[in-house]
Amino acid sequence: MQSVENSLRVDILVVGFGKGGKAVAGVMARLGKRVVVVERSDQMYGGTCPNVGCVPTKALVHESNNRRPSDVPQEWYERAVGEVNEITTLFRKGNFDGVNGLETATVLTGHAEFTDEHTVRVDTAVGPVAVTAAHILINTGSTPVIPDIPGLRDSKYLVTSTDLIHRTELPTRLAVVGGGYLGIEFAAIYRRFGAEVTLFETTSAIFDREDDDIAAVAEKILVDEGIQIVTGANVTEVRDGPAEATVLYMHDGREHSLTADAVLAAAGRTPATEGLGLAAAGVRTTARGAVEVDEYLRTSQRHIFALGDVNGGPQFTYISLDDSRIVLDQLVGEGKRMTTDRVAVPRTLFMSPPLANVGLTEKEARDAGYRIKVAGQPVADIISMPRAYVVHETRGVMKFVIDLETDEILGATLLSVDAQELVNVVALAMRNGIRASQLRDAVYTHPSSTEAFNDVIGAVIRTDEG
């Protein structure tokens, strides 16, 4: 590890300790390059995922699913949050040591701001450090969006996802403003912990990216869990009281109100560029505030790259990791890898059971002009999948969209136990030209969730033939 001085001249400077930047920093340091990684907070080494994103939230999914009816909600929740904090603390230390322990790498903690296209000023606890680098990576991630609702921003009952996973007191009544991935996941988690949950969504339906048949099954699961879902709702104001907030909203032309002791702003996340001094570096941003990049993740300054959420791409940790491969190919490879190379990228919403997708939905395939057949089954009817019964999770449905002429898998939606794993198998098959019949006739271990493909892909429910 290099000693910290008032000024440093390095090969690689990474601003923000996210997944992609961390990966590049590690590779370059092992190649003997001088590397500095700057992180604003000592609570964020490793980035969003291990600290306030994927790891703690999915750990809470697991803990909430394990609560029995006889377990006292507050006691179970407090214990779960304590265990999750232990995990994130372990990961945070591992991420810091993994970079700072490299011989030619240094981690600086403090606010970073560009002073010119090659130099960043870092205000550390022991004073400012000017870091000049040949190449700079912006990897600052994203921050929660607080909707512009009167009273919400100043409400003492307002919580972001970050706030919520750190508090040890379980909300008795949680109002969730926003019905996207974040809102649905947190609604499901906290309902299972025992909170009363109301989910507000401005559009006419949640799961609006899904086919109607999938959306109906997914929404029924949430409703059966006891989540109150109010679609077509316009939250107009949040009023603080001495012990609770009153959420005012318009629905079906009438004003309604709901009381809650926590109001979660779940309106998405926005690229974290504020205060970086990008103008001083000549780095352009988009209309939405993301760092503008080309298909090689180069900014308007060719020696400066932007990785992860800050570049306005899909907000997934695995996309940030793939961003690192593109940047490394620019720095030490052939310079050919691009964002447009990505195909069949899966995604998962971690409700219980998980909802995973890859490729096209049935509606998207038809709109694109494909002649298709659709294969699918409710999980409870899949004879070749006893695992669902073994783990007492038979809710959900699996669905494949298949090209009628070529047998190509155009897409799949999996709402089932282990869907977050199954979707990766389907995505790998799609990337490598494996046909639906090959996936159907493959040999899988038993009992496993994967063997569901033996039945599901053969269960054709709709076809464009004839």
Cα–Cα nearest to 456, from 440, 438, 435: 440
**Does residue 1 belong to any structural domain of this protein?**
no
pLDDT value of residue 466: 61
**Cα–Cα distance measured from residue 2 to residue 439, given in angstroms and rounded to the nearest whole number:** 51
Cα–Cα nearest to 175, from 221, 220, 227, 236: 227
**Does residue 150 belong to any structural domain of this protein?**
no
Please report, for the domain that includes residue 38, its CATH number. Answer: 3.50.50.60
Q: Are residues 213 and 354 in the same domain?
A: no
Residue where a domain stops, chosen among 310, 341, 372:
341
**Cα–Cα distance measured from residue 43 to residue 140, given in angstroms and rounded to the nearest whole number:** 14
Q: Are residues 283 and 195 in the same domain?
A: no
Quick check: 209 and 258 in contact, CB under 8 A?
A: no
Six-digit token pair at 214? 């999938």
Q: Are residues 118 and 18 in the same domain?
A: yes
Domain extent at residue 44 = 7-142+270-341
**Cα–Cα distance measured from residue 40 to residue 417, given in angstroms and rounded to the nearest whole number:** 38
**Does residue 152 belong to any structural domain of this protein?**
no
Q: Are residues 130 and 248 in the same domain?
A: no
**Does residue 147 belong to any structural domain of this protein?**
no
pLDDT value of residue 52: 72
Q: Catalytic site residues?
A: 446
Quick check: 141 and 310 in contact, CB under 8 A?
A: yes
**Cα–Cα distance measured from residue 304 to residue 280, given in angstroms and rounded to the nearest whole number:** 13
Cα–Cα nearest to 58, from 29, 94, 11, 91: 91
Cα 415 off chain centre by? 17
pLDDT value of residue 2: 47
Please report, for the domain that includes residue 386, its CATH number. Answer: 3.30.390.30
- Count of domains observed in the chain: 3
**Cα–Cα distance measured from residue 189 to residue 208, given in angstroms and rounded to the nearest whole number:** 21
**Does residue 153 belong to any structural domain of this protein?**
no
**Does residue 61 belong to any structural domain of this protein?**
yes
Longest dimension (CA), the chain: 75
**Does residue 210 belong to any structural domain of this protein?**
yes
Q: Are residues 305 and 370 in the same domain?
A: no
Q: Are residues 163 and 19 in the same domain?
A: no
CA torsion angle for 294, 298, 302, 304 (degrees, to 10)?
A: 150
Low-confidence ranges of the chain (pLDDT < 70): 1-5, 466
Q: Are residues 285 and 373 in the same domain?
A: no
Residue where a domain stops, chosen among 234, 267, 300:
267
Quick check: 273 and 292 in contact, CB under 8 A?
A: no
Q: Are residues 258 and 285 in the same domain?
A: no
Q: Are residues 194 and 257 in the same domain?
A: yes
Q: What is the 3-class SS of the chain, one letter each residue?
A: CCCCCCEEEEEEEEECCCHHHHHHHHHHHHCCCCEEEEECCCCCCCCHHHHHCHHHHHHHHHHHHCCCCCCCHHHHHHHHHHHHHHHHHHHHHHHHHHHHCCCCEEEEEEEEEEEECCEEEEEECCEEEEEEEEEEEECCCEEECCCCCCCCCCCCCEECHHHHHHCCCCCCEEEEECCCHHHHHHHHHHHHHCCEEEEEECCCCCCCCCCHHHHHHHHHHHHHHCCEEEECCEEEEEEECCCCEEEEEEECCEEEEEEECEEEECCCEEECCCCCCHHHHCCCECCCCCECCCCCCECCCCCEEECHHHHCCCCCHHHHHHHHHHHHHHHHCCCCCCHHHCCCCCEEECCCCCEEEEECCHHHHHHCCCCEEEEEEEHHHCCCCCHHHHCCCCCCEEEEEEECCCCCEEEEEEECCCHHHHHHHHHHHHHCCCCHHHHHHCCCCCCCCCCHHHHHCCCEEEECCC
For residue 150, CA distances in Å to 180, 231, 234, 237, 254 come to: 21, 20, 12, 5, 18
Phi-psi group of 380: left, alpha or beta (phi > 0 → left; psi -120 to 50 → alpha; rest → beta): alpha
Amino acid of residue 439: L
Q: Are residues 236 and 290 in the same domain?
A: no
**Does residue 2 belong to any structural domain of this protein?**
no
Q: Are residues 263 and 276 in the same domain?
A: no
Q: Are residues 354 and 458 in the same domain?
A: yes
